[in-house]
Amino acid sequence: MSEQKDYSEGFSFFKLLSSLYEKFISVFQRHDKQNVNSAIVDLGRTPEEKAQLQEMCEEIDDYHRCLAELRESKLSPGEWLERKIDTEVEELEKSGKLAPEVSKDAKDELKRFVYDQFSRDIESQTDALNEELDQTVEIAKGGAQ
């Protein structure tokens, strides 16, 4: 007689995952696409969770906006970022926040600073996406217990 493996635990996990997905979809079907972030934020149980979810939504939106800009530009990521930084410095000049007599070296230093800021933004957006995935897995595991 061959031993039969018990797959019921695995099936219950998939049932739970399916149930979570259905709940997730039902929440979003009650909101128009413009208000998806508010639906996500409303899922927070405490003001701190809601603030964290709001911040994650904003970072994820920024990530997708930048990704769309990159794709539309048809530039390499490095070229796109360089152009983005140049545009940022030009906007500072036009707004009067950067004096016209600022030296080229000072502008280059500013560009390096802006590059560092973009790098930090990219890291935080990546962290937010990873955190979102981790929380989804945590919810699925917590519900499976």
Distance CA 77, CA 10 (A): 41
Please say whether the beta carbons of 53 and 43 come within 8 A: yes
Domain span at 87: 9-144
Residue 77 domain-assigned?
yes
pLDDT at 144: 45
Residue 3 domain-assigned?
no
Residue 1 domain-assigned?
no
Band of pLDDT at residue 5, cut at 50, 70 and 90: low
Contacts of 111 (CB under 8 A, 6+ apart): 85, 86, 89
Residue 4 domain-assigned?
no
pTM over 0.75: no
pLDDT at 145: 42
Provide the 3-class DSSP secondary structure of residue 31: coil
Residue 46 domain-assigned?
yes
Place of tokens 């530009």: 73
Number of domains in the chain: 1
Residue 78 domain-assigned?
yes
